[in-house]
Structure 1
């Protein structure tokens, strides 16, 4: 199967999944399910493209393992939040802005289906790679482990902080959150370089760079940092402004001292 037929199949399945997700959202008034489905869809696309690809079997096996495990971990983590909490503030504000108009939510969910295809491009490059390079496979696994473990630790630290009622209205500065305002986003972005390593030798290997590039653009300017920080400023006010002044936004580094 050619990469373009593979991506068409990914889009059709993603569109169906997001339609079902939109119906779930409509019944429960919780659009947070879209994040769960996006993570599951991207991870599932890695497995699908690995199975239907024409590249070296070992390279495709590593792709299916890494991409599938990443999607499973992230979607399970997000599902625990969606299932156990009220609708995320970002989506509550969106619901109020759209006045609950469901066709807008449907379009939003279908846009997420398109994004699944966009983020599947690196997997298409890997799935067509005819080469097996042990050093590049090792580098991919190392980057994947660093990215996924770092994101898992950041998620666990934030969940532990949020679980304490005494922390309501305050900002998490524990662990990795002392060195970055969004360590989970940083390690998520870092993990996408694993597929760049796996695509070395592929005739369409350049497509793999779309992963880290597009993810950085979305996290930095579109759907990650801007929405998350706007919500944090609404709920935590001056405490979060102080956090912004002292803590790097994305790439971890030592916090700055504010002048007295």
Structure 2
């Protein structure tokens, strides 16, 4: 077995075992939201496992540090936001739909599926850990690091601005349209998009060009599956002013707000 195949097999096995343990805990607690908190932590786990197995070369070490900073911050933020709130409404709806079968269905459609997606999206880290690439920085390294930094700031600042907005009782039921949220309805998702492509660029010098499906999958998730589309499918009913916000503010790419009266 090649070093890359062995690394991929190891990280997949560890990821699925962790997801199985999380599923057991979630079933006992009746709270599938645990999987969301682990999403951010799962990438550092894969990155450091691949790094330790193949040696700590500079490029994969930098990538592991970057993804750890992102993952720990995201997990801590989601844990703080979830504390005392109970299960996320998405999973409660799934639980109501599947009834007594939910505990079994959730193993495959939530935990194991997310584990496989996480492992696949983390290919750039694993390829870079195995092949390392040149020690000198390349244009793709510099561009990738810059994209990661801008993306991280978008997500972290956007989350902080939203947390402050929601902590004010006077804003209950209102639409957040200040700060970064004035220019994009989802600065946090846009930030994750930039970081995903930043990791890909960082992997190029280590032979990661073929892993382009990893950031593409993340982009599809953010836009069409668990990100923008899913969140906005119900938010208009919960926040009457959101339709007007949609008309004047880009969903994803930051841009100055439009005149609501314009087409």
Q: Say whether the fold is shared (TM-score over 0.5).
A: yes
SS in 2 for 1:99: helix
Shifted more, 83-92 versus 59-68: the winner is: 83-92
Match of 2:214 in 1: 211
Match of 1:121 in 2: 123
User: How far does the alpha carbon of each residue in 1:211-254 deviate from its partner, in whole angstroms, 9 at most, with x for none?
Assistant: 32111111111111111112312322x31111111110100101
User: How far does the alpha carbon of each residue in 1:101-124 deviate from its partner, in whole angstroms, 9 at most, with x for none?
Assistant: 210111121111111211111112
Match of 1:40 in 2: 41
Shifted more, 169-178 versus 92-101: the winner is: 92-101
Match of 1:106 in 2: 107
CA contact (8 A) 1:59 1:126 kept: yes
1:180 maps to 2:184: yes
Whole-Å separation in 2 of the counterparts to 1:130 and 1:197 = 12
Match of 1:258 in 2: 260
Match of 1:3 in 2: 4
Alignment coverage as a number of residue pairs: 257
Select the residue among 238, 241, 244 that pairs with 2:246. Answer: 244
Q: TM-score, normalised by structure 2?
A: 0.90
Gap runs ≥5 in structure 2: none
Match of 1:62 in 2: 62
SS in 2 for 1:199: helix
SS in 2 for 1:241: helix
Match of 2:13 in 1: 12
* 1:15 shift after superposition: 1.3
Match of 1:93 in 2: 93
Whole-Å separation in 1 of the counterparts to 2:214 and 2:182 = 27
* 1:179 shift after superposition: 0.8
User: How far does the alpha carbon of each residue in 1:181-234 deviate from its partner, in whole angstroms, 9 at most, with x for none?
Assistant: 111000111012222222223234321x23321111111111111111123123
User: How far does the alpha carbon of each residue in 1:8-58 deviate from its partner, in whole angstroms, 9 at most, with x for none?
Assistant: 21121111211222222223322211111121111211122222236x711
Q: TM-score, normalised by structure 1?
A: 0.91
RMSD of aligned residue pairs (Cα, Å): 1.9
* 1:177 shift after superposition: 0.7
Select the residue among 163, 170, 194 that pairs with 1:166. Answer: 170
Gap runs ≥5 in structure 1: none
Whole-Å separation in 1 of the counterparts to 2:41 and 2:59 = 21
Match of 2:142 in 1: 138
CA contact (8 A) 2:48 2:64 kept: yes
CA contact (8 A) 1:190 1:212 kept: no
CA contact (8 A) 2:224 2:230 kept: no
